[in-house]
Amino acid sequence: MEILPADLQLYLETHCDIEPEALKKINRDTYLKILKPHMLSGHYQGRLLSMLSKMMAPSRILEVGTFTGYATICLAEGLTETGFIDTIEINAELEELLNQHFKSTNVEKKIRLHIGPAAQIIAGFDGPPLDLVFIDADKKNNLLYFALVLEKVRPGGLIIIDNVLWKGKVYGDAQDTDTKLIRELNDSIAANPQVEKLILPVRDGLLLIRKK
């Protein structure tokens, strides 16, 4: 199921940089082999993530929710020469596929894959502050992940959270649990004086958060 109308998606994709060949293959493999392939960032959002990463020129990135590695690779494109991205995936069954996908790119050596519960793994991170964080995992824990990473991000660092428009349900009348949780996330961050924030209506909504 596509989030945007097909004609709009095609227009956007034909008016940004082309999708790299390795990512085209990962896109196809995801739709052929994986349940809920629409969770993939895809061509247009992937180019946005790549551009944001290149603008930040990060040395250290954290991704919460790897899925099939598409966004991971896009984010890694902006890393400094010695930079790296830590990416966390709860589903151990994806590990072999992820390693295959990473090996098909020129950023494989900059990616460190962690399999397990994200909250536990994040809590154990130390070292230099994070420059960029992308959160695209289980939505019920978004606020927890945000709180955990905020203290580890440098001032001026960027946090990006995906799916914050929830197919438009957050600004409608829906009262299901997931929608309520995403509203709570958006409202909490909107009221947080530690950060600057802006929702971009890209695909299912990207919340950009800059730590002051």
What is the CATH number for 117? 3.40.50.150
> Average pLDDT for residues 120-144, to the nearest whole number?
95
Please say if the pLDDT value at position 1 is more than 50. no
> Considering the domain boundaries, does residue 178 fall inside one?
yes
**Identity at 91, one-letter amino acid code:** N
User: How many folded domains does the chain comprise?
Assistant: 1
> Considering the domain boundaries, does residue 192 fall inside one?
yes
> Considering the domain boundaries, does residue 1 fall inside one?
no
> Average pLDDT for residues 146-163, to the nearest whole number?
97
| Span 175-201, pLDDT tens digits | 999 999 999 999 999 999 999 999 999
> Considering the domain boundaries, does residue 197 fall inside one?
yes
* CA distances for 132 relative to 50, 117, 172, angstroms: 12, 20, 31
> Considering the domain boundaries, does residue 180 fall inside one?
yes
- Nearest CA to 211 among 193, 190, 199, 187? 193
- Domain hosting 173: range is 6-211
**pLDDT number for residue 2:** 59
Q: pLDDT above 90 covers what percent of the chain?
A: 92
| DSSP assignment of 131-148 | EEEEE-S-GGGHHHHHHH
> Average pLDDT for residues 52-62, to the nearest whole number?
98
**pLDDT number for residue 5:** 86
Please say if the pLDDT value at position 38 is more than 50. yes
> Considering the domain boundaries, does residue 139 fall inside one?
yes
> Considering the domain boundaries, does residue 76 fall inside one?
yes
State residue 145 phi and psi, 5-degree precision: -60, -40
Q: Distance of alpha carbon 72 from its chain centroid, rounded?
A: 8
At 127, is the pLDDT very low, low, confident or very high (cuts 50, 70, 90)?
confident
